[in-house]
Amino acid sequence: MNSTDPAPQRCAQCGAQFRCGQQMGDAECWCASLPALRADRLNPRMTCLCPDCLREETQRSINV
């Protein structure tokens, strides 16, 4: 990262830092490769999750 890059995101669930492709100006963020979470699994007050937490939440959503 250089000095003009946005600060890393912090996971709303575990607090880990991660790179948000959307904030970094990528054509597509890494999260777009995962299935969308079901509406009943979304929390409008929560910001993004790190790759590990989003994968876990996606898996829980599929297994419900």
Q: Is the dihedral angle over the CA atoms 58, 60, 63, 64 positive or is it negative?
A: negative
Would you kindly state where each structural domain of the chain is located, as residue ranges?
A: 9-63
What is the per-residue pLDDT across 13-55, written as a single tens digit (0 to 9) for each? Answer: 999 999 988 888 889 999 999 888 887 777 788 788 899 999 9
Establish how many alpha carbons lie within 13 A of residue 5's alpha carbon, considering only the half-sphere containing its beta carbon: 11
Pick left, alpha or beta for residue 16 (phi over 0 → left; psi -120 to 50 → alpha; otherwise beta): beta
What's the predicted TM-score (pTM) here?
Answer: 0.73
